């Protein structure tokens, strides 16, 4: 599998949903190409970003690079 495109996805709605529902996850795992808008503040829970984009790193949490 090879990722295609450069998204520009707004990931904020996922984080907003968690906050609005009062959830406290042990960890939020987000698969992304790392091109898009992210929350300006780090949440109180762990975040893992799964990506195949080698030259991008998330502004917070752990970025996990998947091999091609």
Per the model's pLDDT, the better-predicted residue between 53 and 17 turns out to be 17
For residue 16, what are its two tokens?
């907003």
**Residue pair 38/25 in contact by the 8 Å Cβ criterion:** no
CA–CA distances in Å: residue 1 to residues 12, 35, 53, 58, 67: 26, 19, 13, 22, 10
| pTM exceeds cut of 0.85 | no
9 CB burial (10 A radius; 0-12, 13-18, 19+) = middle
Q: What is the pLDDT of residues 7-52, one digit of tens each?
A: 678 999 999 999 999 988 999 999 998 888 899 899 999 999 999 9
For residue 56, what are its two tokens?
């991008």
pLDDT at 15: 95
pLDDT at 9: 84
């Amino acid at each position: 599998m090879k990722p295609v495109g450069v998204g520009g996805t707004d990931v904020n709605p996922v984080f907003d949903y968690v906050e609005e529902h009062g959830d406290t996850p042990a960890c939020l795992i987000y698969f992304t190409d790392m091109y898009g808008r992210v929350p300006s503040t780090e949440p109180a829970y762990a975040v893992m970003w799964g990506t195949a984009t080698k030259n991008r790193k998330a502004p917070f949490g752990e970025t996990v690079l998947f091999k091609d």
